[in-house]
Structure 1
Amino acid sequence: MKTTPLLCMFAAVFLCIAAAGCTDSNAEKNVLVVGNHKMVDARELDQGTGTGTLITEKIIITETLVGTEEDFSLKPILAESWKMINDTTWEFKLREGVKFHNGDEMTAEDVKFSIENINAKQPGRTTLLDYKGSEIVDRYTLRIRSNEKNPLLPAALHSPDTAIISPKSYDAAGNYVGTIGTGPMKLESFNEQTGEVVVVKHTGWWGGTPTLEKIITRGYPNPGTRSMVLENHDVDLTFDPPYSSVDRLDALLGVEVLKFNTPRTYKLDLNMDHAPLDDLNVRKGLAYAIDREGIVDNVLYGVGDAAAGPFLPTMTWANTTLVPYTYDPALAKQYLAEAGWKDTDDDGYIDKDGKKLSLKLLTYTERPGLVPMLEAISANLKDVGVEVTEVAMETGAISPMLNEGDWDLYLIAANLAMVPDPEYVLKTWYTTDGTTNRGHYSNPEVDRLVAEGHNLTLPEERYAYFRDVEGIVYDDVATINIAYYGVAILMWDNVQGFAYDPTAHDYKLSPFMTVS
């Protein structure tokens, strides 16, 4: 058959497309397909039931009153300015002309609704607001009252949980119908069966006209799957493949790998309701048994650093005098022996009163470093005579075990900067009633110091004060901090304009990215 020039052109185009492994995004210009680390649950789209991270950072349909610069200092977003009126009242001046996705203008009434919505439905997420109520001064001015003096309140409003939404995100009966935010993208569809979320650009966004036409977000909980769909060009951008594959992926033609430090710490929570984890000598023994440097080098492949206190050393408020607990199996055994745990029958396991020291170690599978870290930590603990039961499952599967207290150690990659202030972590992780104090660590001195430090207003004074508190929980081994989290962002080179936000959870997309 004779081949025409037109057929030759179509054949060449077809071969070019096949070779490129084109994604859905290539069917339209500036459509970004993202591989997220978990399937989206319908509740995550609702400001009142989700964490705020998805809607504010991953699909950028909502915004907060307050943002942060790269050094974690505060900056205006939906609030133009704020000031303390008295010890318990902050006044916020709102940005005028901000339009919700339905065209309504954002007012003080909408902001009040949003804060009270999350405060009523998830009060644990607004603990640091110490919210008492709000007063509408005028259309663009709102006063927010706390129960007691609260210098932390503007920083607490950086949390994506406090994202501003329209009351019309709910029907007259209060049922969720779809998030209406102010962000650069707006919700178009959500597939409950597949978890796929589609957002399209908000042409009325106050920050300018987005270049992205659409973002399609799909969930891939398995790190290996994320690597595969990126290689197949089923997605344009993803993050955190198996760390062992990062160098190989970076070598692929057309693939770019970016590595950043992100405000997370790999840590072990210890269930202090379970003896002997309530014994400081046992906790110190476990801390000295873990080879942090070996884990960073051989498990995380250099994506991260050994951890001392909970805070990254680059954070302004971090106590940089703290150093990681050294890997010292002999010292670990000494501390365990002081607590009465010795190998009395030469079976390789330490025991006391006829019982082995046996611990149940849990983690979840969505993040690539956790399962291999669990295996390495388990091996370290076995080397000092601790019997370990390893459990690694998706978050939904281990949640009941955590809730029921059926665990001893929980390995987690915990966020440090939901609120850009040291009190956020020290209060929620380490005070007796802390909202994420899973292990029920309790030290009355820490409770007192955190409560008193809350009232300090000058940043440098606060930072110096809370450095001392960080030193106490470090000495108490309130958590065993393993490593500071590094994130690997993978994208094809047809994606341009990605800018890393070091204060975000893993990553935050920019509406001014392009996909050719």
Structure 2
Amino acid sequence: MPGRALALLLAVAVLGGCGAEDAGPAAAPADGARPPGRGPAPAYGDTLVEALTGNVSGLIPNILSDAPSFEVAGLLYNGLVKRDRDLRLVGDLAERWTLSPDCRELTFQLRRNVRWHDGHPFTAEDVLFTYRTMVHPRTPTAYREDFLAVETIEAPDPYTVRIRYRRPYAKALQSWGIWMLPRHVLEPWVREGRLREAPQNWHAPVGTGPYRLRELRAGEKIVLVANRDYFAGRPYISRVVYRIIPSQATIFLELKAGGVDVANLTALQYRRQTEYPAFRKAFHKFRYAANAYTYLGFNLRDPRFADRRVRQAFAHAIDKRALVEGVLLGMGREATGPYRPGTWVYNPNVPAYPYDPARARELLAAAGWRQRNAEGVLVRDGKPFAFTLLTNQGNDERKKVAEIVQASLREVGVAVEIKTIEWAAFLKEYIRKRRFEAIILGWGIGHDPDQYDIWHSSKTGPDELNHIGYANPEVDALLERGRASCEERERKQHYDRLQVVLADEQPIVFLYFRDALPVVASRVQGIDASPHGIKFNFTEWYVPEARQRYTSE
């Protein structure tokens, strides 16, 4: 029976996972061990092997939007600014800056000791080129809007950049955390509108970052080597190898066998499969509230999902608390919108969708789905309410979520078929081309509340992020006003209202915010657990000479 099937799914998932405490705001060693940052003296050398569940979709991050690509590219490139351990904006390629109180006038002074990987000096001309690349109409980027806000930009000398915005712009400073691109290498490709085809996007990236690309074998591995001429100092770890392993279960086996040093655990692995002395000795586990949420998304071009009552019905049909307890074993928080509970922008006073299958059936009936066929599936105009739910291969958590959503919707008369697809193909063939009915995916959100690129009706193109096709004039106006002020109090008013509208509309069903559960081999020292997670100071990680496993290069 459908009801029993759902109960069994939840019971199996929740076994042993109740009663977890909420994670604090900062990352911390999960095992109570001595923080791994306090150890023997730093030493150069060794190789760190990290697992990725999906292929990268390129190596020029300005035109990409997926986590694996950002993970790798983040070690190849720099922006003008970055976030420190306490999430404050600090200089990266910029040494210092001045920003006017109204967020309209911004001047950067650049570092003078930065060189691209091929030896060319980094100068203000590269900043201007990056700006021109981002606003070029043929650049396939989702992040153009931050740069269209610029009124003028100039370089009075090789190490000074002056920027003026048309109107106050909340993200004026942080938007220049975008990865800087080399003019001397990429200018012809940008001019011809072929940046995606540039060799630097696949096998020959030229950045300023702490690592250089040594090797890329699609679907197998990516090898980076330390940049000995890095302006901030040579990284201690000599090589970073990303292994593409499209299965969290296989990653875990490799982790225990010593074939992987860094990975992200599932909740089950974290809670139930790593609490034994040998694992605790070999690895350090961390836990912190991640700035990312999981959602059930719809193609709003589909007339069935264009009806708000259907989306609201689905929200009532899914027991979010059971998902948090069952799939995450309590290590997460229910989502009511796109902002994480506990942050300054979060609004707790939005329309709620408690688990209520009876209310879900009422809403579906109001939308015209009243009759059922012999299989118990709702029918309207002779067509059953059935659709395919897509998610990415290798993510056990999302697969479990999809299965619970499938069973939950079957309870209210909707038939769901689940299909998992390899990550890079999923993005290229389905998300980018809008070839989906519904999806289980996640959004990683930045530290600024601006989400213009995800929700604004102008951002529905194939290279942009509003892939569900959502359009609401009030939401557009709120997004525009929210980014046009430097005052947190004024911005919050707009984002509070945005959350109310999104909760009422349910363009997607916001499911939950999960905790990040990374694990790192215990031989690695220098990790500084912080509100920014653990990777912000990766160049300071090291392995004491006596514990190094691989020959230095």
Distance 2:143 2:486 in 1: 22
Q: Which residue is equivalent to 2:158?
A: 139
- What is the identity, as a one-letter code, of the residue corresponding to 1:81? W
The CA deviation at 1:129 is 2.6
- 1:325, distance to aligned residue in structure 2 (A): 2.5
The residue number in structure 1 matching 2:208 is 182
Match of 2:148 in 1: 130
Q: Is the 8 A contact 2:97 2:108 kept in 1?
A: yes
1:271-290 equivalences in 2 (<5 Å):
271-290=299-318
CA distance in 2, matches of 1:115, 1:388: 44
Matching residue's letter, 1:141 = T
Partner of 2:515: 486
Within the alignment, does 1:244 sit opposite 2:268 as a pair? yes
TM-score where L is the length of structure 1: 0.83
- What is the letter of the counterpart of residue 472 of structure 1? V
Cα deviation for residue 104 of structure 1 reads 4.0
Aligned mates of 2:121, 2:509 — CA distance in 1: 47
Structure 1 match to 2:468: 439
CA 1:88–1:259: 2 relative to 1, 3 Å: closer
Identical positions, percent:
23
Offset of 1:35 from its aligned partner? 1.5
Q: Give the counterpart of 1:167 among 183, 190, 193.
A: 183
Q: Tell me the amino acid that sits aligned with residue 92 of structure 2.
A: I
Which segment drifts farther, 373-382 or 101-110?
A: 101-110
CA distance in 1, matches of 2:301, 2:187: 43
Q: How does 1:339-354 map to 2 (within 5 A)?
A: 339-344=367-372, 347-354=375-382
The 1:317/1:256 distance shift into structure 2, 3 A limit, reads same
Query: Aligned pair in 2 of structure 1 residues 49, 475: CA closer, same or farther (>3 Å)?
Result: closer
- Quote the Cα distance in structure 1 between the aligned partners of 2:49 and 2:215: 14
Query: Contact conserved, 1:98 with 1:205, CA < 8 A, in 2?
Result: yes
Distance 1:55 1:336 in 2: 40
**Take 1:207 and 1:321, find their aligned partners in 2: how far apart are those partners?**
45
Distance 2:376 2:400 in 1: 23
Calculate the TM-score normalised by the size of structure 2. 0.78
The match for 2:52 is 36
Gaps of 5+ in 1: 1-27
Match of 2:124 among 108, 113, 131: 108
Which of 340, 356, 371 is 1:328 aligned to? 356
Partner-residue secondary structure (3-state), 1:410: strand
Q: Deviations over 1:337-356 (max 9, x none)?
A: 22222245574222223332
In the alignment, what sits opposite 1:363? Answer: 391
> Which stretches of structure 1, 4 residues or longer, exceed 6 Å deviation after superposition?
171-174
Q: Partner residue of 1:263?
A: 291
Q: 2:226 aligns with which of 198, 201, 215?
A: 201
Deviation at 1:69, TM superposition (A): 4.3
**Corresponding position of 1:11:** none
Whether the 8 Å CA contact 1:201–1:210 is kept in 2: the answer is: yes
Residue 90 (structure 1) aligns with? 106
- Note closer, same or farther for the CA distance 1:346–1:171 as it changes in structure 2 (3 Å cut): closer
Relative distance call for 1:375 and 1:508 in structure 2 (3 A) is farther
Residue by residue, what CA displacement relative to the aligned partner does 1:391-421 show, whole Å, maximum 9, x if unpaired?
211123434234454432211111111xx32
Letter in 1 for 2:131: I
Distance 1:213 1:91, change over 3 A: same
Change (3 A) 1:53 1:290: closer
State the Cα distance separating 1:32 from its structure 2 match.
1.2
Structure 2 unpaired stretches of 5+: 1-43, 191-197, 548-553
* 8 Å contact from structure 2 (residues 385, 414) kept in 1: yes
Q: 2:402·2:418 contact (CA, 8 Å) conserved in 1?
A: yes
Aligned-residue offset at 1:440: 1.5
1:151 partnered with 2:170:
yes
Aligned to 1:7: none
Alpha carbons 1:82, 1:92 under 8 Å: kept: yes
Residue aligned with 2:108, SS: strand
Matched, 1:60 2:78: no
Which amino acid counterpart does residue 321 of structure 2 have in structure 1? Answer: E
> Which piece of structure 1 moves more, 457-466 or 87-96?
87-96
Structure 1 counterpart of 2:269, one-letter code: S
Quick one: distance in 2 between partners of 1:333 and 1:70? 48
Shift of 1:467: 1.7
Q: Equivalent residue of 1:511, what SS?
A: helix
Instruction: Give the CA deviation at 1:225.
Output: 1.8
Distance 1:405 1:368 in 2: 24
Mark the CA change 1:381 to 1:60 in structure 2 (over 3 Å): closer, same or farther: same
Q: Which has the higher contact order (CA 8 A, sep 6+)?
A: 2
Aligned to 2:60: 46
Q: Which moved more, 1:382-391 or 1:463-472?
A: 463-472
Q: What count of residue pairs does the alignment treat as equivalent?
A: 477
SS state at 2:341 partner: coil
Q: Distance in 1 between matches of 2:189 and 2:487?
A: 44
